[in-house]
Amino acid sequence: MILSGARYVESPNCRPRKGESKGEGVEVDCIVLHYISLPPGQFGTGCVERFFTNTLDWKEHPYFKEIEGFEVSAHFLLLRDGALVQFVDTGLVAYHAGKSRWRGREEVNDFSIGIELEGAKDVPFTDEQYGALAGLVRELMRVHPSISIDNIVGHEDVAPGRKEDPGELFDWERLRRGIGRTENA
């Protein structure tokens, strides 16, 4: 699915879900939330979009040497003002979770949708982001009915010890209230 309310910027960092070529695609039943800012802690630079589309100038900032050559994407990026950018059709795998595991299943990218929130570990997310995220999650749950509230997780949950996002400042209860679900669906 390409969401009509999002600005679509196609990322090459994706692939069909396992089994797609045989008509047996893996069912999407999980959403993984992340935060990202490039350079770290700087917002509104456009660098995340260039990173996800393999057009980032690695010489633009010293930090970029640490991520040079990585092929990363997410299905969606929620900017600080609540604007939504989509990079990958939800029917495809985006490269957001890396080495990961959830409820006994490896390779979380294969059965999940990745949502990046423009943010940082020590910066609260905005009201606009929470509002837009709740609307996006409701729509994703409508289109992909196998997604349940207890399968909306953080990167820290699927890659513990390796990742820490969306972090301690993310208000999970606020998200649950926003999507209208406070218990398992």
pLDDT in tens, 37-83: 999 999 999 999 999 999 999 999 999 999 999 999 999 999 999 99
Q: What percentage of the chain reaches a pLDDT higher than 70? A: 94
pLDDT tier at 24, thresholds 50, 70, 90: low
Q: What is d(CA 44, CA 82) in angstroms, rounded to the nearest whole number?
A: 12
H or E stretch at 118: strand 112-118
Q: Which of 49, 116, 118, 156 is catalytic?
A: 116
Residue type, 19: G
**pLDDT confidence of 30, banded at 50, 70, 90?**
very high
Mean pLDDT confidence for 122-147: 97
Confidence tier at 131 by pLDDT (50, 70, 90): very high
**25, 27, 140 from 185: Cα distances, Å:** 23, 17, 14
pLDDT at 21 over 80: no
* 7-179 under CATH 1.10.645.10, yes or no: no
Domain map (residue ranges) of the chain: 7-179
Q: Which amino acid is at 108?
A: V
Please report the pLDDT score of residue 26 as a whole number: 80
| C-alpha pair distances (Å), 138 with each of 84, 150, 175, 185 | 14, 14, 10, 12
d(CA 152, CA 81): 22
Between CA 33 and CA 102 the distance in angstroms is 13
What are the CA-CA distances from residue 99 to residues 102, 138, 167 (Å)?
11, 27, 18
Confirm whether 116 is a catalytic residue.
yes
Contact assessment for residue 165 and residue 156, using Cβ atoms and an 8 Å cutoff: yes
Q: Which of 64-78, 149-163, 169-183 has the lowest mean pLDDT?
A: 169-183
Residue-level pLDDT at 184: 47
Write down the residue that tokens 């299905």 correspond to: 75
Q: Which of 5, 95, 78 is nearest to 35 (CA)?
A: 78
